[in-house]
Structure 1
């Protein structure tokens, strides 16, 4: 398992870097699961959502799991509103 911990705000200014990092994580040799931890993430926008979706698609295409955990407040609301919490987030 590879844990990717995100901290701070993820918007247009870092959207491309987030996508690249998650694509790299999903393609890393020996990785069977990518776990994205949002504990310290305060904001995600559409660019961050696109990065999460790209990471998910890359991981599942490679036969690996991709899960987002610990979204809180506004971050979790964005995941819920977009419907991505049902696809990306670990279910209780």
Structure 2
């Protein structure tokens, strides 16, 4: 199995909003990296809210969902907000089918 092409980047904005931009494919081969990145984001000093931008995410399987949930749970433990934005196409469908579109809309 080859590792899909993907990128995870972060930007801290005003008010302690940390935007995590995901680009490419997120499956089991990169699930650990995704989970670690989102948990680190949720625990970072000065962060009050994590916003995961899926605008450039082409593929997300159950392992990618698990990574998003790990970030969501870490943010909740830290008393911080967590939101997923800009999901489209198949990625949006996956979030809707799992019932997580509403959970991550907060």
TM superposition score normalised by structure 1: 0.96
- Per the alignment, residue 4 of structure 1 pairs with 20
- Per the alignment, residue 15 of structure 1 pairs with 31
CA distance in 2, matches of 1:17, 1:75: 19
Which runs of 5 or more structure 2 residues have no equivalent in the other structure? Answer: 1-16
- Per the alignment, residue 39 of structure 1 pairs with 55
CA distance in 1, matches of 2:33, 2:78: 21
Which runs of 5 or more structure 1 residues have no equivalent in the other structure? Answer: none
TM superposition score normalised by structure 2: 0.83
Q: Which has the larger radius of gyration?
A: 2
- Per the alignment, residue 74 of structure 1 pairs with 90
* SS at structure 1 position matched to 2:68: helix
Question: In the TM superposition, what whole-angstrom CA distance separates every residue of 1:32-54 from its partner, at most 9, and x where no partner exists?
Answer: 00000000000000110000001
What's the RMSD between the two structures over aligned residues? 0.7
